[in-house]
Chain A
């Protein structure tokens, strides 16, 4: 009875298989081969690629670096985005102005934006160092020093994606009911206490959503690193996706990059699930008086 309803599910199911399941299963199969420029094709290499990955310090360093980069950029984006959203929350004129202004970085293509920032950070030709010298801080080795290059990547990511966080959080703030704020005033909560006890907890669900969306995007960071630093100096700004790109697309080690990709996918899925649960517990269910 009502079997025909499954016919309507079929197109969606076929797309799911073609777009997600087939590439995933194919990647699993490739990861158990040693397909490279010398041995093209799906041979059987067992777990050799995974064993190699286990001892590949560059991969794990890239993963650790990516984690740091993601946490730092998303945290700064969240704090800045929230602060800006709070600033314009009650001011309609400012809200319109900032909403338009902040769309500009989001609308810029990451590669174009990274080229512009690479020019800004250029140590002899860029405008940043003369400005810093004018301020008495002195020129900095933005793209030639590992630490500064890492900071440069963070700055560019924050510049581009803080507006996204701002817009999401502003939408969240505008959707909050006004009554609890009135109640908080009457119940003796000043502005700071109202923020901590009412605004912030009521923004819990939207905050978790915004942080997770940005964390997922940050975990895939590639274009900024590719254009701005090419993973350098050395490998100091190399992220996992960039490293997989080097192994797969530049060195053509297809089997090995498939093993790296699959492991990366599993680690990210587990990590993001744990982060989501922790954030939900901390920011949504844990909200108390």
Chain B
């Protein structure tokens, strides 16, 4: 088990890692967070490339004094990192030869792995002679052939186009099926990727680990407002609400039926987090279109209701002219309810 205890790292007063304590077990864990959340720094710390305060240990062995080249770790980064002076086969054999394996055995293992990632025909080429996707496949194959018990994947497919990214993700999952007891840590900014891939997910923001658990459980109940922001794409809507015994009033949007929130919720101020898919057309809230994004078969519309920004997700490609007025229906019964300290208190009435 890989154990991180109280990791702290700051540069020029900016925290990159803040009191991170996590355990990683064999299987795939996704690190989910926006750019700058500390995911890459955390992976670099595990690999020995960054040096935070705190303790990193693997199967009981303290790694404080262990240089990167002695750590049983393989890593794939966003950039297509290969050895430009070596051909593809030698690239794959490199970590095996460094580990002390005979050159012939290393080349044989490299050739087998090259076949598994579909690059058998490219063995004698230099990385610069390959496409971006092929180069990243070489980097991935080099990490996999090493057979390290810890595999760190830092947004490995982010620089690939959509179709290639989807394909590579499927390939990776297939390759990891035979990974056995490998601890895979996969950093991503895409909540859907985390939901689809991970056995576990860790939400990160501003160098902190906000929440960890099974991806669906984390998605269903983000423990804090910051976690709700991280785990939702399109962005989740945050509404300031005031509840009393008979009424519910939302800043900038006006009064709403009291029964949208649980009956036992005491009066007070709350933040309601409402997912973009829980806002629909044909309601009573007036808003103007600020931006429309069409992504695949979905449409994300950014709206402005007075001073309150809102995001609506609709199926199929929709056409909303800029500045057009839309009447929205907010399904507050599906909202997540956070207290003044940002912690999850309850879910809307529709969650049961």
Contacts and interface: CB of A to CB of B under 8 A. Distances in A.
Interface of A: 177, 179-180, 182-190, 193, 197-198, 201-202, 204, 287-289
B82 A183 contact: yes
24 contacts: A177-B84, A179-B77, A179-B81, A182-B49, A183-B81, A183-B83, A183-B139, A185-B48, A185-B67, A186-B68, A186-B75, A186-B95, A187-B69, A187-B74, A187-B94, A187-B98, A188-B69, A188-B99, A189-B69, A189-B98, A197-B98, A287-B85, A288-B90, A289-B97
Given A188-B69, A197-B98, A289-B83, 11 more contacts: A179-B81, A180-B84, A182-B81, A183-B83, A184-B83, A187-B94, A188-B95, A188-B98, A198-B85, A287-B85, A289-B91
A201 B47 CA distance: 25
Contacts of B142: 183, 187
Interface string B251-282: 00000000000000000000000000000000
B73 A186 contact: yes
A183 B85 CA distance: 13
Interface residues of B, number: 31
Nearest to A201: B85
B70 interface: yes
A180 B82 contact: yes
A180 to B, nearest CB: 5
Given A182-B49, A188-B99, A287 B86 contact: yes
Nearest to B81: A179
B69 A288 contact: no
Nearest to B68: A185
A197 B91 CA distance: 11
Contacts of A184: 69, 83, 94
Nearest to A288: B90
A187 B95 contact: yes
Contacts of B94: 184, 187, 189, 197, 289
A190 B69 contact: yes
Contact of B85 (A185, A186, A202): A202
Given A182-B49, A289-B90, A190 B85 contact: no
Contacts of A185: 47-49, 67-69
Interface of B: 47-49, 67-70, 73-75, 77, 79, 81-86, 90-91, 93-95, 97-99, 103, 106, 139, 142, 146
B68 A289 contact: no
Nearest to A289: B90
A44 B69 CA distance: 72
B148 to A, nearest CB: 9
A194 to B, nearest CB: 8
Contacts of B73: 186
A233 to B, nearest CB: 47
A251 to B, nearest CB: 52
Contact of B70 (A182, A188, A204): A188
A287 B82 CA distance: 15
Given A179-B79, A202-B84, A187 B48 contact: no
Given A185-B48, A288-B90, A190 B67 contact: yes
A168 B81 CA distance: 26
Contacts of A202: 84-85
Contacts of B98: 187-189, 193, 197
A121 to B, nearest CB: 43
Contacts of B68: 185-186
A187 B146 contact: yes
Contacts of A186: 47, 49, 68-69, 73-75, 95
Contacts of A201: 85-86
A29 B267 CA distance: 110
Contacts of B79: 179
Query: Which of A177, A182, A289: most chain B Cβ within 10 A?
Result: A289
Contacts of B95: 186-188
A177 B81 CA distance: 10
A188 B67 CA distance: 9
A229 to B, nearest CB: 42
Contacts of A204: 85
A183 to B, nearest CB: 5
A288 B93 CA distance: 10
Nearest to B89: A289
Contacts of B70: 188
Contacts of A189: 69, 94, 98
Contacts of A187: 69, 74, 94-95, 98, 142, 146
Query: Which of A177, A201, A288: most chain B Cβ within 10 A?
Result: A288
Contact of A198 (B74, B83, B139): B83
Query: Which of B82, B97, B139: most chain A Cβ within 10 A?
Result: B97
A202 B68 CA distance: 21
A102 to B, nearest CB: 28
A9 B268 CA distance: 87
